[in-house]
């Protein structure tokens, strides 16, 4: 292995064209392909027309150095310091596959971010680019055919009647609430006397959407195991002004939808599901976003199903809500230039829909990979910290892998010094955010106590197992020393 260090993990490999034709017949090359796939090391080629799964085309105007931080070139002979022969590469990859936890500690993975969107883009480039180019060359860039087809595909996958593509998850929430106001109450907007219950632990958009829709948010506690809205808290907050609630399936964990629906039906309240972090999560076999009155999704690039920019989606089985949502996303008109309601410009771009269609075909892989990573963490991390709750009734899709421990801030600093990114989702309780001060507090909120102790670890689907084991090992190292 002269010239190649095991300690520096390769990020991508360019296969010289003379080796491509042997990739299905040469045992060494077949084994290399299998190991690269397993280790999520991107394979590249420059031969037009060549097709092989997990081997991506590198256009002539790019070099391997443009694409990779630590590149190698697979060739029969060495011609530079980054050239490597098949025999050398197989030996190197085989060592990575069999590393124990102690040897993993010696590898330089570089900076390990919460996600690596660049890695995802490279890994799926041959799957995504045909959709992207077809949409681009169509010239049909606003609410085009790709949007219609994407909406249909989501409806089929979810078993829901209607889907409306919009320009962000935030707009999905606003339009959903306004569509409910129009369909249920005949009002363009809610009034400040109308109260909508929201969890105190969520992203700002959940609560801001209530304000944009004209209503007043009421802050609810969350369950300490699942971090989703507490049905008991909802019951305590209901009064004659309450119109409905937004349930956030936080971190990819479905909320207790049976209890939520029982409370809602008992008091004739609407339920909006904020599914920004929970694409394809399931509660008792039902896809989230199909259980309440409306489901709202975000396709921000970091999401479980992410685009290459902003995007969002509304799902519903209610035809009236669908009709209003469809109008509100395009200036409130049913026919062009004739606005029946106060709408806006919130249309899912055709380019985004094309990318999402391509990635939708990979959603099972992406979801299962997140769950595999969560399993590694679950099996490696000690029980002295609180791991994410899971149960057979709730199919967790792990948008975040969030732990809870007494020294979360110190752990975050320790991991940062070891080039591992972590984040707190979310660092401020909603009731403490100045812009949301119009919200109501009717009971003691315990969000701050939770926030002080939570921390989310990297869970990029195309990170190899050894990288996740490295992160888990560093967490264990801190816990052994300080907890």
Tens-place pLDDT, residues 64-80: 999 998 999 999 998 89
Nearest C-alpha neighbor of 265 from the set 226, 229, 234, 219: 234
> CATH number for the 127-360 domain, one of 3.30.830.10, 3.40.640.10, 3.30.565.10, 3.40.50.300?
3.40.640.10
Mean pLDDT, rounded, for 123-132: 94
- Per the model's pLDDT, the better-predicted residue between 482 and 353 turns out to be 353
| pTM over cut 0.85 | yes
Mean pLDDT rounded to a whole number for the chain: 96
**Is 60 exceeded by the pLDDT of residue 151?**
yes
Mean pLDDT of 143-159: 97
Query: What does the pLDDT read at residue 116?
Result: 95
Strand partners, 241: none
Q: Is the predicted pLDDT of residue 396 greater than 80, yes or no?
A: yes
Residue 19 pLDDT greater than 90, yes or no: yes
Write down the pLDDT at residue 2.
Answer: 43
pLDDT for the residue numbered 120: 93
Tokens 């869970």 belong to residue: 459
CATH of domain 363-482: 3.90.1150.10
- The pLDDT value recorded for residue 100 is 92
Residue 1 pLDDT exceeds 60: no
Q: Give pLDDT, residue 6.
A: 67
pLDDT tops 90 at residue 211: yes
Q: What is the pLDDT of residues 234-282, one digit of tens each?
A: 999 999 999 999 999 999 999 999 999 999 999 999 999 999 999 999 9
Say what the pLDDT of residue 4 is. 59
Average pLDDT (138-145) is: 91
Pick from 220, 228, 197: which is nearest to 210 by CA? 197
Q: What percent of the chain has pLDDT over 90?
A: 94
pLDDT at 7: 76
Residue 98 has pLDDT above 70, yes or no: yes
Integer angstrom CA distances of residue 236 from 188, 240, 263: 29, 12, 11
Select from 147, 433, 181 the least CA-distant residue to 299: 147
Domain boundaries, the chain: 12-98, 127-360, 363-482
Q: How far is CA 198 from CA 46, 133, 181, 202, 205, in A?
A: 52, 41, 17, 9, 11
Q: What is the 3-state secondary structure (H, E, C) of the chain?
A: CCCCCCCECCCEEEECHHHHCCCCCCHHHHHHHHHHHHHCCEEEECCCCCCECCEEECCCCCCHHHHCCCEEEECCCCCCCCEECHHHHHHHHHHHHCCCHHHHCCCECCCECCCCHHHHHHHCHHHHHHHHHHHHHHCCCECCHHHHHHHHHHHHHHCCCEEEEECCHHHHHHHHHHHHHHHHHCCCCCCCCCEEEEECCCCHHHHHHHHHCCCEEEEECECCCCCCECHHHHHHHCCCCEEEEEEECHHHCCCCHHHHHHHHHHHCCEEEEECCCCCCCEECCEECCCCCCEEEEECCCCCCCCCCCCCEEEEECCHHHHHHHHHHCECCEEECCEECCCCCECCCEHHHHHHHHHHHCCHHHHHHHHHHHHHHHHHHCCCCCECCCCECCEECCCCCEEEECCCHHHHHHHHHHCCECCECCCCCCHHHCHHHCCCECCCCCCHHHHHCCEEEECCCCCCCHHHHHHHHHHHHHHHHHHC
């Amino acid at each position: 292995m002269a010239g190649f260090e095991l300690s520096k993990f390769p990020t991508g490999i360019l296969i010289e064209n003379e080796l491509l034709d042997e990739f299905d017949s040469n045992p060494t090359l077949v084994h290399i392909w299998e190991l690269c796939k397993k280790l999520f090391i991107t394979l590249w080629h420059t031969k037009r027309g060549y097709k092989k799964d997990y081997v991506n085309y590198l256009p002539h105007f790019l070099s391997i150095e443009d694409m990779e931080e630590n590149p190698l070139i697979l060739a029969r002979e060495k011609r530079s310091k980054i050239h490597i022969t098949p025999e050398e590469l197989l030996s190197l990859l085989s060592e990575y596959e069999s590393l124990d936890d102690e040897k993993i500690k010696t590898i330089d993975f570089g900076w390990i971010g919460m996600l690596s969107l660049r890695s995802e883009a490279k890994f799926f480039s041959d799957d995504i680019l045909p959709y992207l180019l077809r949409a681009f060359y169509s010239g049909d860039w606003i609410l085009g055919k790709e949007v219609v087809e994407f909406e249909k595909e989501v409806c089929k996958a979810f078993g829901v009647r209607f889907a409306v593509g919009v320009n962000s998850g935030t707009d999905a929430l606003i339009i959903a609430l306004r569509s409910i106001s129009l369909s249920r109450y005949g009002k363009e907007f809610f009034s400040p006397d109308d109260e909508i219950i929201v969890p105190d632990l969520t992203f700002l958009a959940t609560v801001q959407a209530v304000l944009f829709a004209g209503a007043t948010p009421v802050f609810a506690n969350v369950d300490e195991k699942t971090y989703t809205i507490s049905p008991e808290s909802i019951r305590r907050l209901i009064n004659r002004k309450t119109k409905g609630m937004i349930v956030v399936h936080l971190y990819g964990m479905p909320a207790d939808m049976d209890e939520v629906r029982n409370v809602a039906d008992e008091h004739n309240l609407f339920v909006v599901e904020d599914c920004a972090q929970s694409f394809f999560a399931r509660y008792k076999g039902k896809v989230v976003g199909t259980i309440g009155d409306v489901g709202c999704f975000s396709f921000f690039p970091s999401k479980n199903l992410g685009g290459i920019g902003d995007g969002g989606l509304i799902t519903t089985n209610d035809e009236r809500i669908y009709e209003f949502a469809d109008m509100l996303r395009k200036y409130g008109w049913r026919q062009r230039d004739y606005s029946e309601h106060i709408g806006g410009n919130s249309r899912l771009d055709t380019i985004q829909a094309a990318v999402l269609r391509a990635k939708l075909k990979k959603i099972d892989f992406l979801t299962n990979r997140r769950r595999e990573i969560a399993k590694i963490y679950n099996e490696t991390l000690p029980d002295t910290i609180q791991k994410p709750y899971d149960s057979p009734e709730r199919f967790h899709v792990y948008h975040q892998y969030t732990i809870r421990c007494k020294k979360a801030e110190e752990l975050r600093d320790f991991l940062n010094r070891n080039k591992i990114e972590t984040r707190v989702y979310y660092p401020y309780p909603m009731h403490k955010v100045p812009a949301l001060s119009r919200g109501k507090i009717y009971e003691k909120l315990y969000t701050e106590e939770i926030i002080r102790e939570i921390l989310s670890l990297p869970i990029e689907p195309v990170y190899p197992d050894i990288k996740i084991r490295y992160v888990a090992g560093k967490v264990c190292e801190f816990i052994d020393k300080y907890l």
